[in-house]
Structure formats: C-alpha cells, structure tokens
Structure 1
Amino acid sequence: MSSTIVLCIISLVCSTFGAELKEVFSWKQLEYNWPSSEFKEEALKTDAYIPQNNLAHGISIWKDKLFVTVPRYKPGVASSLNYIKLGSEKSAKLTPYPSWDFNFIKEETNNSLKDDSSVVSAFRSWVDGCDRLWVMDTGVANITGARKAIAKPSLVIFDLKTDKLVRRYFLKDTDIKKSSYLINIVVDVNPDMCDNAFAYMPDLGSFALIVYSFADDSSWRLKHHYFYFDPLAGQYNIGGVEFQWTDGIFGIGLSKANSDGIKRVFFHAMSSTKEFEVPNNILQNETWATNTQNFNDFKFVGERGENSQASISIFDENTGVLFYTQVKKNGVACWNSKMSLKPEHTALIAHNAETLEFPNDLKIVDNTLWILSNKLPKYIYKSLDSNDVNFRIFSVPIENAIKETVCA
C-alpha cells in the first residue's frame, strides 16, 4: 500500500502532497447561544429559526474570536454574523455579533433595518490590520426564494476592540445593477494609515468591481472584460449535484507592497480557469479606474488548468503564495507568484470528496491557513442531511501546506 493511500486513511483530509489539515470545528447543523429557551422555542414556532436552512459560509479571525457568516439564502436564519471562541468544543454554538438584538430579523414583519448595526445577510467578512471587522451586507433575505430586500447593499464596519459600529456605508445606486450579487470583500490598508483603507467588492452577478474609499466615504464601480465568466467553464458536478453557474469576478488576492508601495491585486471569475491582475493604485484612483482607457492596466497572469474553477483566493505575504479553492476537485491549491502561472506550477495541497466537498472560504492568520468547507450545491439545489457533518473548519500551517510542492 502506497504512503499516499495510508495518509488518506489516517488523516482528516486526504492530500496528494501530505498536507494534513486539522479539523478545528464541525457541525451537522448550526446551533446558537440563545438568550433563553423561551426565545428559541418562539423562533422555532414562528419559523424565524429553521435549523436546516442555516449554512456556515464564511470565516474571519481576530485574536480568540472566529467569525462565521450565515447568509439568508433561505427563511429561518437566526443570525447572519456570528462568532465562536477558539478552543471551544468542536460543534460550538454560534454567538451573534455584535448582539442578538442586531441580528435577529423577522423577515415577514420587518421592511427596514432596526439599527445601522444590524446585519441582514453576510456572506463573508474581513478583519483588517487596524482591528476592524468589515462585513459586506447584501441586505436581502430569502435569496433563493421570494427575495425580500430589507435594506440596500452596504458595508458594515465594527471596531473589534469595543464591538461598536464604526460606520455603515450604503452603496450608491450607480454601484449596483438589478443582477448584482455581492458576496465577497477584501480590504486593502496599511496598519500605520488606518483611515486610508480601501475595500474591494466583486460583483459576480453583473461582472463589475466596486471600490470603497474609507477616507472619502465614497465608492465607484469598475467594468472590464476580465471580470466576465468563461462560457466553457460554467458546468459543475459537485457532491452528485449537476448545475451551471455564470459567476463572474469572485476571488481577490492582495500581494505584499513593492518598494513603491504598490500591490498586485490578483483576481478571477468563479466560472473560469484563468487568473488576472491589476495594480492597486489603479483601482484606488476613481478618475482613472472608471476610465475605459485603463484597459491595458489589467493583465492576464496565466492559466490554472483544467477543472480549476475557484471561488475564494488568499495571498500569503511571507511566501508569495496564492492559495485558492478548487471546487471541482474538492480541495485547495496553491501557486507561487514568483513563478509564471501554468498548470505545472500549481499544486493541489489538500483534497477530499467528503470533508472538502465544497471549499468555500480561506483566510490566513499568523502563518496559518484556515479553510471553511460546506455542501453549498446540495443546500441550494437539494437539501442537507442532518445526520451528516455538513460544515467543517480546518487549519494548517503555511509551511506544512506547501511542503514538498512546487509552491515551496
């Protein structure tokens, strides 16, 4: 029996290159720290909480808090923005952030936000180097059904030291289209210049990128051919579910700044196998970013290879490695940006059809790669089996993840 097969049997995750992931948390169904048993019973009775409709989707980490987003894809999501304490039991209950009061939204009775600290539907979040939590709130409940717009799409920013709202910014009407779908956010900031922060929000539905300037408290929308999906890369079969997606620009990875202070902003569409880049100073200049003459500032980086469709990506500044999900391969892959991008310069660092059925989010904290996997296609098109483990969060040291691969 080969060493690789043995590793697959004894490890939590089978990996071609031996990167063993540590399963930190796992759930069959999500449960919450309710204010009282009566509160929960009432939520169940009124369908404000339908356990099987709560899907762990995104993660962020700050000190001992691990944030977990639960989008309101379907009715009965109790709280969209939550956290658990690192070191908690494996199936820890979620605690709404900043409180129950600002997360518990009864869709059938509320048509507006209770407060600017309220979070309607968050897919992903981002912790910046200034101890702030940035949340992209779509403002829409029951996304896969009879959609209900409770609020306009907005950025919600919290001070993690005080758990207080820093700012809520509602996107401009010119930023969004009827087909807009905003489910990712990446923040570009120097911790020594916290007010000079920029948020990049890919709009995979209308193939655009929205940029927000914290200093100017303003936003603008960019269009480019590279934001579109590849019509030959939109067919999926994951977990036995066959479907077609036309998702455009999705994943964004920020490189380390060069000597001029400029970063490479890597990006790709979900339904694509190609990677592109643009200097961050191009995106941050509203006048030039929205000028069609900037077309050639966007560059084709390379091809990841067949069946390499990726959602989220994350860049490790210490190694120069870009990590990205591999949804059709039930895994996570890497590419060292010091090399040209082509299939032989990429490596699948972890893959498993069961535990990584749909890798959905990645974060890097303290030289450790964190991975959230779920069963999103089954959740959307069929239903989750409450007897199965449906959500997992893993961690692996970066050094171990790329050891003995081309990425090292």
Structure 2
Amino acid sequence: MMKLPLFAALIYIGRAAAVLEEVFAWKELDFDWPNDEFKNDLVKSGEYVAGNNLPLGVDRWKDKLFVTVPRWKSGVAASLNYIPLNSTDKSPKLVPYPDWKANILPKKGETPEENHIVSTFRLKVDSCDRLWVMETGLADILGEPSQISPPAIVIFDLKTDKVIRRYNLKGTDIKGDDSFFANIVVDVTKDTCDKAFAYVPDLGGYGLVVYSFADNNSWRIKHNYFYFDPLHGDLTVGGVNFQWTDGVFGLALGPPNENGFRTVYFHALASTNEFSVNTQVLRNESLATDPHSYELFKLEGNKGENTQSTASVFDEKTNVLFLTQIQKDGVACWNPRRKLEPANVGIAVHHQENLIFTNDIAIDSDRNLWILSDKMPAFVYKGLDPLEINYRILKIGVDEAINGTRCVA
C-alpha cells in the first residue's frame, strides 16, 4: 500500500474512532511549470491568473491523485491535472495531464489534438486502468463563454497516458444552450472492460446521456426526476447566499446483481430527494427512451432539510452511499437496506471550516474516502482571500467514516 505524506494533519470529527486527514491544502493553486519563462509568459498574457484557478473534481489511480480545474474564469493554466502522492509538499504544484500541450487553450485557427482538454469538472478512474474525462469544451464560463470544442468523453489509458478514444456527444444528446455536462460515472468491471457504459448527467438541460463503449454510441434520456426542486434551490454556504437551478448531477452505482446490472442512485443538486433506476433500463436504448418506462424510475425518499448534494459515491463492501452535504459542511451516508428518511441519514464527516462546500468525493481501491472542499460559492459570488486556506483535499477510511452511524447495517 502506498505511503501518503507524513505531514497530513489530523482532524477529529466528533466520533472517537473517526479521524479525517487533511492531505493537501492551498491558498491559491500553482502548477509544475516547465520553466520560469513559460510561467511568466502565461502571467503576462493573462492565461494564468492564480486566483481564478479553483480545484473541483478528484479521483485516485495508484500514485496519482487527479484534480480538475474547470475554466470558470479566464486565466486557468491547466484543467486536467494530477498530484504525485509521494509529494512531501502540503501545497503541491499541479502537474498537467497528460502534458502541458494538451491543456493550453488552442490559438485561433488551431485544431486541438485528440488528447486536448479545454475544461473538465469531474472524471472517473475505472477498474480497467482507464481515466474517463467529461470534457465540456467550454472556457471562461462565468465571463465571456467560448465553446472551443464539442462536449466529449475522453478516455485515457493510464498505463501509457495515451488517448484510447474521444467521443463527441451527438447533437441529439445536447439540449441547445441549456445543456451542461459536469459529471460522469462509469459502469464496468475488470471482466467487462470492452462492454463499459458511461452515464453523463445534464444538470442544465435536465437529462441523462448514456454512452456504450462497445457500440461507440450514445442516447439521451428524459425524466421528470432529473429536474431541480424549486423549493430547495435557495442555498447558503460559508455565509454566502445564492439560488441555483441545477438538475441531475450526483450519480452513484450500487453493486452488480446476479445479472450484472446495478442500481444507479441519483439526485438533482437543487433537491433533497434521492432517486434510483436499474442500469438494465439505461443500457437498453429503446427501453430507456420509451415514455412508458417512466415508472421504472423510483423515488427512494427524502434526506431531510439542507441536504443538497453535489456528488455521491457508493461503497460496495458496506453497501453505503456517501453524499456531499454542501449546506452542512460535510459528507452524509445512507445504507439502502434502510428506508431513506432523515433519521437514517448519518453524518460521516463534518468540519465547519475545513469542509466548506464539499464539491467532490471519491473512493479509491484501498477504500479511502477522498473529499475535496473549495469554497466555490465565495469564489463565484464574492471572491476568495488569497491569504487564507481556500482549497483542501482530505481523506478518511470508509469504515471509520460510518462507524457509530445509522449507515452500519
């Protein structure tokens, strides 16, 4: 098992056995520049503005911890990056993946390479040593948005750092200017690498895109459960009040059943309800797009007030669903063997300062729960103080996180 940095701070989170490690923390992000001249040129041209780089997505593969930096604003140096986990720096520089060239915005008239990433929010490492990246192709989202390349699923071979495939979403997958694809989950096992499916929620267009790796094809699904709840779009995080209309966003896959299908648990960001559907429905294009399949989608229940969530992930060993809690400065858990109601939703981790806006979570092969917090509402609406810690990546063992909660079966 890989050794993580010895500097990691220990944060006690209420229950005696549960300890949350602060692995990395930054006031502002910096990058592993090829040389000083390269950095200075980007600073002079406005292509690197330190305060405009906000980390958002996280996942681990062996000794690499991948971290995304979406191009919310101009001045993002590289969107797809990793941190070597043997780093001894508590605020390490991000290393662009697969290299710098793939992350620099193309000049006018240039054709991007197959491995080029303009702006990505979430990514997923699968059990076949592949990295799936949901590339939005959209730069300067909060300023003067520019669609540099089509939304695409980009799949890397992590053993060679080469692109296996780049799949541009079809016109029928996209709902005009409303669509916004910020997440991706991958349905695959080590024995079914060539039969993988990816599920991509459209939080702005209120839909779900299914991609079949074997067929190299995709289709869009509509359902009322993908919409936001107008009663739960008013949010306050870190003292910042705002209103969002984000629809389906968080997705998590339960364990395979005897037929190889799974339960997909999903929710809109602006909602406190949790829903589910079997992947047997999603993988079948004719069934998934048939209006008569409406009742095959299920309401699991309500998590309670102020339980809006950006991301979720499922631990198969304990049968526990983890969900970020952006208004509660933490991460919740729920075991689907229990009815979904507020009394059965546990608080796995909580910290009023270090977990302000838990934007993403991931479980690695060692069953560590990784958490990225980034104060995003303040970044978007108010501005961050460059003299204080704004971004953190923390981790805790899954079993520790649920110990003493209602999530233990």
Q: Determine if the TM-score, normalized by the shorter chain, exceeds 0.5.
A: yes
Q: Distance in 1 between matches of 2:110 and 2:403?
A: 50
RMSD after superposition: 1.3
Partner letter of residue 402 of structure 1?
I
Aligned residue for 2:332, secondary structure, equals: strand
Q: Which residue of 2 aligns with 1:288?
A: 287
Q: Deviations over 1:199-220 (max 9, x none)?
A: 1000010100011110111111
Do 1:17 and 1:404's aligned partners in 2 also have CA atoms closer than 8 Å?
no
Q: Deviations over 1:54-98 (max 9, x none)?
A: 001001110000000000000000000000111312111111000
Q: Distance in 2 between matches of 1:386 and 1:199?
A: 37
Do 1:16 and 1:348's aligned partners in 2 also have CA atoms closer than 8 Å?
no
Q: Distance in 1 between matches of 2:96 and 2:261?
A: 37
Partner letter of residue 308 of structure 1?
T
- Structure 1: tracts of 5 or more residues without a match: 1-9
Q: After TM superposition, give the deviation of residue 112 of structure 1 in Å.
A: 5.5
Q: Distance in 1 between matches of 2:350 and 2:123?
A: 24
Aligned residue for 2:76, secondary structure, equals: coil
* Percentage of matched positions with identical amino acids: 52
Q: Which residue of 2 aligns with 1:243?
A: 242
Partner letter of residue 187 of structure 1?
V
Q: Deviations over 1:253-281 (max 9, x none)?
A: 10001122221110011011111100001
- The one of 137, 144, 147 aligned to 1:146: 144
Do 2:121 and 2:134's aligned partners in 1 also have CA atoms closer than 8 Å?
yes
Q: Which residue of 1 aligns with 2:164?
A: 166
Q: After TM superposition, give the deviation of residue 16 of structure 1 in Å.
A: 6.1
Using the TM superposition, name which of 343-352 and 109-118 deviates more. 109-118
Q: Deviations over 1:95-131 (max 9, x none)?
A: 100000110115xx43664201000001010001110
Do 2:15 and 2:404's aligned partners in 1 also have CA atoms closer than 8 Å?
no
Q: Which residue of 2 aligns with 1:367?
A: 367
Q: Deviations over 1:24-52 (max 9, x none)?
A: 11111111111111000000000010000
Q: Distance in 2 between matches of 1:296 and 1:357?
A: 37
Instruction: Give the number of aligned pairs.
Output: 397
Using the TM superposition, name which of 226-235 and 83-92 deviates more. 83-92
- Structure 2: tracts of 5 or more residues without a match: 1-8
Aligned residue for 2:334, secondary structure, equals: strand
Q: Distance in 2 between matches of 1:276 and 1:53?
A: 35
Using the TM superposition, name which of 82-91 and 133-142 deviates more. 82-91
The answer to whether 1:227 aligns with 2:213 is no
Q: Which residue of 2 aligns with 1:120?
A: 118
Give structure 1 regions of 4+ aligned residues with deviation exceeding 3 angstroms.
13-18, 109-113
Q: After TM superposition, give the deviation of residue 15 of structure 1 in Å.
A: 3.8
Aligned residue for 2:105, secondary structure, equals: coil
Aligned residue for 2:231, secondary structure, equals: coil
Do 1:247 and 1:269's aligned partners in 2 also have CA atoms closer than 8 Å?
yes
The answer to whether 1:317 aligns with 2:320 is no
Using the TM superposition, name which of 17-26 and 285-294 deviates more. 17-26
Q: Distance in 2 between matches of 1:278 and 1:102?
A: 36
Do 1:22 and 1:395's aligned partners in 2 also have CA atoms closer than 8 Å?
yes
Q: Deviations over 1:2-28 (max 9, x none)?
A: xxxxxxxx9525446763210111111
Q: After TM superposition, give the deviation of residue 239 of structure 1 in Å.
A: 1.2
Instruction: Rate the CA distance shift 1:16–1:232 in 2: closer, same or farther, 3 A.
Output: farther
Partner letter of residue 392 of structure 2?
R
Do 2:10 and 2:22's aligned partners in 1 also have CA atoms closer than 8 Å?
no
Q: After TM superposition, give the deviation of residue 399 of structure 1 in Å.
A: 1.0
After superposition, residues 123-138 of structure 1 pair within 5 angstroms as 123-138=121-136
How high is the TM-score relative to the length of structure 2? 0.95
Q: Which residue of 2 aligns with 1:190?
A: 189
Q: Which residue of 1 aligns with 2:272?
A: 273
Q: Which residue of 2 aligns with 1:157?
A: 155
Aligned residue for 2:317, secondary structure, equals: coil
